[in-house]
Amino acid sequence: MKKTLSCRLAALLFLAALLVGRPATAIVYQDAAAQAAGLGTGQSFLDGEAMLITHFTNGAYGGCSGTLLLGGSFLLTAAHCVSGADGTWRTSFVDVTFANSSQWARVTDYTVSPLWSGDLANGGDLALLRLPAPITGIAGYSLYTAAPAFGAAVTITGYGDTGLGDTGYQGSTFGTLRYGRNIYDLYDPAAPAIYIYDFDRYGFAGLNGNGAVGPDEVMIAPGDSGGGALLTVGGITYLVGVHSFIFCLSTGCTPNSSFGQFGGDVSVFANRDWLLAAMPEPAGALLLLPALAAMALRRRPPRGFPSAAVAAIGRA
């Protein structure tokens, strides 16, 4: 029997292992030209996007992405990058570096969303890392807390594996900051804290059911977990979502970030109360956008997510 997306997320989600021993590029692109244009090095609006190397207690290590918040004292990432399903710390420390800066930090202090239980469908896949000292000289991002961002065109960032849409991500390519765009164009009313987006092949109607944002439409991949989805409104770039997982719907499919597959981000707006409470002043003084500005960001009304069997789901 077919089930809704949220039911199948709980039933079929598998947590793919973090990238281990591969400190080596991110984001899957339409073609080689878009991939070459999507390098984040030297792009000042991406200065606050961080690479995380998680050192596990068993001696292994893994890679994720994260975003420096305004004030420089906290970094927001995905809970599954640093925590077990019960919220317990499963690493010795996390090394944080930035592609556009020589600054780095070693983090041992964190807190996860109280919603985090290992279920990526409930919108609680968030962790705040408290830096040992504020990062200076890098502009952190304000959190977008004015309204839900369904229907918005956002900038997708991360350090995860890269590749092209025809074949999906290629392993052992983690470690380079990359970016592109996509639209939060799918909505599951049973999972309102998750922004869902598909990977349309630009210019091809068969995989363009919701409309590609352009030739720079991309999809997240392993290692992009915890990376930021950014939205610029009124000249200010905000953090609106945090990359959490990838999945596909066709029977027997394997999540590999290829054309026609899907990504899921955790909504910052839906977690605003916890984020505000978890960060003391002044870091917790989140900037609120005026309601009119929030309305202006809408690109198109989001479409309801189809009721379809989910064959497999992979973590970004």
Residue 180: predicted pLDDT: 98
Q: Please enumerate in sequence order all residues whose Cβ is within 8 A of that of 188, keeping only pairs 6 or more positions apart, or say none.
A: 4, 5, 6, 194, 196, 304, 305
Residue 186: predicted pLDDT: 84
Q: Which amino acid is at 238?
A: Y
Give the chain's residues under pLDDT 70.
1-26, 89, 206-210, 281-316
Burial class (CB in 10 A: 0-12, 13-18, 19+), 113: buried
Residue 209: predicted pLDDT: 55
Residue 289: predicted pLDDT: 45
For 232, phi and psi rounded to 5 degrees?
A: -100, 120
Structural domain count of the chain: 1
Residue 23: predicted pLDDT: 28
Q: Please enumerate in sequence order all residues whose Cβ is within 8 A of that of 164, keeping only pairs 6 or more positions apart, or say none.
A: 28, 29, 30, 31, 32, 35
Residue 282: predicted pLDDT: 55
Q: Which domain, by its residues, includes 261?
A: 5-315
The answer to whether 19 touches 316, Cβ cutoff 8 Å, is no
CATH code for the domain of 141: 2.40.10.120
In angstroms, the CA 155 to CA 218 distance is 9
Q: Which residue has the tokens 């896949």?
A: 125
Residue 294: predicted pLDDT: 43
For 254, phi and psi rounded to 5 degrees?
A: -120, 125
Q: Please enumerate in sequence order all residues whose Cβ is within 8 A of that of 103, keeping only pairs 6 or more positions apart, or say none.
A: 97, 135, 136, 137, 138
For 179, phi and psi rounded to 5 degrees?
A: -155, 165
pTM: 0.85
User: From its phi and psi, is residue 137 left (phi > 0), alpha (psi between -120 and 50) or beta?
Assistant: left
pLDDT in tens, 25-73: 469 999 999 999 999 999 999 999 999 999 877 777 889 999 999 999 9
The answer to whether 26 touches 161, Cβ cutoff 8 Å, is yes
Q: Tell me the CA end-to-end span of the chain in Å, nearest whole number.
A: 27
